[in-house]
Chain A
């Protein structure tokens, strides 16, 4: 509950605290955000605001913000606010900073302090309201619902954070601190206007093929696990503490935490072992919403069945059911009240099919959702069995005249203007598939004729060899012949993962490139020229062959900014009527987030959802 790195304020400090001189000097420093030069930083939280290092409200004696502890020095009771994030939130500090001159540091007697605190509490919750979105099935629309809620609350000037205790996804991205989180939580953080970070998605499971998955905890690789071991060891022994500490921090530092469940909360074969749904709901005492996709049929059954399989305490947390994906003119839905009669939970909203939005989406199964565009320029993505980070290609959809397709077999490369070998969770086994499926031969036939790009695992495959002497990728020690289109050799030396956000310049044509690296293994470039020159040290990244038609890079998100996207498209023959205006992916995403928020505002009464209850 409490960040143990902070020293308890002692009696002497309490006296010092109420000294108007120290408050005056604090005010004279101005509104300073985080004081990263301070030797104790961060004493509460990495995103803490240090404007009020000494709290003008101390000792507030508010049990939501701190507690009495026994003083080591005197043995008496002393108020500790170690665990308080409230005063160290940007918005709370800013509000108080504005109020302080009205009262002046001298006027801070108990009555004034309590009045100040009341006023602050009126604007900023001391403990976040938790709203949790659960789905009757996978693909019910939870992720987008959470994203929409995050942006809608953000638009109301609330401090918002998304949270998903456990996510299983191969579409991860890297934060500015080098932490790896699921791509969807990154999007939700953008929607919420908060910094993407590991605590938003403290447990990330990345399937590695077979029964093995990699567990990423708080953004860092933790260990590999099997399904069996995950449920029998990790979930009971380790997951609860990880989830609790991250959730608690978010509850202390936001007005709203919008929590996403995983799959269905009624997987009764996993009772007691599911830490992604009702476990979190109870921990946060969240107001829960159940999203049911009506598109497949059976929505009545899923809504009623899901709630019937929960226990009374769990069911009581549900404030509403959202019927999602109603198609226009989809028949009468007059008898929805039978759901409320059967479950005791009202249907809050019937959401329509959302308009086509430009958003990187989550789910791995349905690649067809990522296929798109109607253009004549076909870019074929090789559909590797362990394909990962295929959101890399969403940005290609910003270009007119481009069509992205996923190729499962060699014949599907016919007519492609360019070929991309994407990232994979397992380069060695997917390279084997590439050869056995005939895809490798088909790619080699096209080398020199159409541009071929390898990203991450795909880059490793384009090289000459992959050395996996410890069997880190393939499970057995191996030295594998790769496609040999690039003069590069990849080594898997250790169980290390490089996760970093990077920027650089496109060496050939100029222009900024931005991306993130998530890979095990390192690639030695032979004599060939690098594709990018990276900031800040000018190191070369990636490579291209002599003709400039075969390229490899470790950068995910390489197409997000227009420079490389345009360059890559310019290498293709055929129609060159590429969209005239270069669109930044960030701007496109933000516009979509606003539309999403508007949509949800129209269908759900968010004020009612937030309630008028005090945060006490």
Chain B
């Protein structure tokens, strides 16, 4: 069973798309790949064949992997209800509402056991899983309640790729700061970083990338060019970007996958995926 996890420097760094693209890539190489995201915060959900509610992003990643979505691809879905209230959907069914107090340690433990069970069920008999993290893995105030980033990577022993969005500026600082705030075990699992949404001539980044590679003792796995394409809108973060919905006739899911194939094509040449393939077997 091969594993790879995508974590982000921020929300909206491009984790969802990168995960979908990696699923697609490995699927096209003939592998039996599945997507997994332990916990998602989204109001855009999808209902699986067996009536379970998961985030639309994991459904999208499933289609990219050439399979139908199942509820164990996204065992925890948090749906904000306004004024600090959230509904927690666990294993595809509404579980309980939580208020401003958030979750207590007892709930966290219960959620964690659900996540690991879903993960094991999902991976049974598969070649590979691509795991998506949530937000930043080094929100130090939330670390003891983490169920979706480094806690998971450690629990399932998955190599991790960190993606940073260069569009906001400060991407080197974001990536390096994330690394600095990780503990030894976490840094061991982190295998490389990716710079996303770059516009222009990537050679201008050269010196910065080299410095970061030497400070972190790991490779930059790619600089991904900015590409406008359509995919399901995950959360309000995406709405701020000009991402253009799907227009015209046809099945929107086919359209999304076609766009994803187009994205992979555009990345080709700027991104040597064999570097990523090489990571999968390590740990």
Chain A residues in the interface with B (C-beta under 8 A): 135-139, 227, 263-264, 266-271, 296-306, 308-309, 329, 331-336, 338, 342, 366, 368, 408
B155 interface contact, C-beta 8 A: no
B177 to A302, Cβ gap below 8 A? Answer: yes
> Which B residues are CB-close (under 8 A) to A329?
84, 100
A-B contact pairs, 27 of them (CB 8 A): A138-B170, A227-B200, A267-B172, A269-B207, A270-B208, A297-B139, A298-B11, A298-B178, A300-B138, A300-B140, A301-B136, A301-B173, A301-B177, A302-B177, A303-B177, A304-B180, A305-B170, A305-B173, A305-B175, A305-B179, A305-B180, A306-B177, A308-B173, A329-B84, A334-B141, A338-B140, A338-B181
B169 to A264, Cβ gap below 8 A? Answer: yes
Q: Mark B189-207, 1 if CB is under 8 A from A, else 0.
A: 0000000000010001111
Interchain nearest-CB distance for A400 vs B (Å): 26
B207 to A139, Cβ gap below 8 A? Answer: no
> Which B residues are CB-close (under 8 A) to A269?
172, 204-209
Contacting residue for B173 out of A266, A270, A331, A366, CB 8 A: A266
Asked, given contacts A227-B200, A269-B204, A301-B178, whether A296 binds B172 with beta carbons under 8 Å apart, the answer is no
Interchain nearest-CB distance for A369 vs B (Å): 9
> Which A residues are CB-close (under 8 A) to B13?
298
B14 interface contact, C-beta 8 A: no
Interchain nearest-CB distance for B225 vs A (Å): 16
B180 to A308, Cβ gap below 8 A? Answer: yes
> Which B residues are CB-close (under 8 A) to A305?
170, 172-180
> Which B residues are CB-close (under 8 A) to A368?
240
Q: Mark B59-76, 1 if CB is under 8 A from A, else 0.
A: 000000000000000000
In the bound assembly, the distance between CA atoms of A333 and B139 in angstroms comes to: 10
Interchain nearest-CB distance for A169 vs B (Å): 15
> Which B residues are CB-close (under 8 A) to A336?
141
B180 to A264, Cβ gap below 8 A? Answer: no
Given contacts A305-B170, A305-B173, A366-B240, 12 further A-B contacts (CB under 8 A): A139-B168, A263-B169, A266-B173, A267-B169, A268-B208, A296-B11, A296-B12, A297-B11, A297-B135, A298-B136, A304-B180, A305-B175
> Which A residues are CB-close (under 8 A) to B172?
264, 266-269, 305, 309
Q: Which residue of chain B has the shortest Cβ distance to A310 in the bound complex?
A: B173
Q: Which of A263, A264, A271 has the most CB of B within 10 A?
A: A264
Interchain nearest-CB distance for A213 vs B (Å): 13
> Which A residues are CB-close (under 8 A) to B5?
none
Q: Mark B135-154, 1 if CB is under 8 A from A, else 0.
A: 11011111000000000000
What is the total of A-B residue contacts with beta carbons within 8 Å? Answer: 132
Interchain nearest-CB distance for A185 vs B (Å): 19
Interchain nearest-CB distance for A166 vs B (Å): 14
> Which B residues are CB-close (under 8 A) to A264?
169-170, 172-173
In the bound assembly, the distance between CA atoms of A408 and B247 in angstroms comes to: 14
Q: Which of A264, A309, A332 has the most CB of B within 10 A?
A: A309
> Which A residues are CB-close (under 8 A) to B209?
269
Interchain nearest-CB distance for B220 vs A (Å): 12
> Which B residues are CB-close (under 8 A) to A138?
168-170
Contacting residue for A136 out of B173, B179, B180, B237, CB 8 A: B173
> Which B residues are CB-close (under 8 A) to A331?
102, 141-142
B10 to A296, Cβ gap below 8 A? Answer: yes
Interchain nearest-CB distance for A134 vs B (Å): 10
A301 to B208, Cβ gap below 8 A? Answer: no
A137 to B138, Cβ gap below 8 A? Answer: no
Interchain nearest-CB distance for A138 vs B (Å): 4
Q: Which residues in window 48-65 of B have CB below 8 A to A?
A: none
In the bound assembly, the distance between CA atoms of A332 and B205 in angstroms comes to: 36
B188 interface contact, C-beta 8 A: no
B211 interface contact, C-beta 8 A: yes
In the bound assembly, the distance between CA atoms of A571 and B181 in angstroms comes to: 59
B9 interface contact, C-beta 8 A: yes
In the bound assembly, the distance between CA atoms of A534 and B172 in angstroms comes to: 51
Contacting residue for A268 out of B10, B141, B212, CB 8 A: B212
> Which A residues are CB-close (under 8 A) to B173?
136, 264, 266, 301-302, 305-306, 308-309
Contacting residue for A137 out of B170, B179, B204, B212, CB 8 A: B170
> Which B residues are CB-close (under 8 A) to A334?
141
In the bound assembly, the distance between CA atoms of A306 and B168 in angstroms comes to: 14
> Which B residues are CB-close (under 8 A) to A303?
177
Q: Which residue of chain A has the shortest Cβ distance to B244 in the bound complex?
A: A408
B170 to A267, Cβ gap below 8 A? Answer: yes
A301 to B211, Cβ gap below 8 A? Answer: no
In the bound assembly, the distance between CA atoms of A304 and B177 in angstroms comes to: 5
Asked, given contacts A139-B168, A296-B12, whether A301 binds B174 with beta carbons under 8 Å apart, the answer is yes
In the bound assembly, the distance between CA atoms of A139 and B168 in angstroms comes to: 7
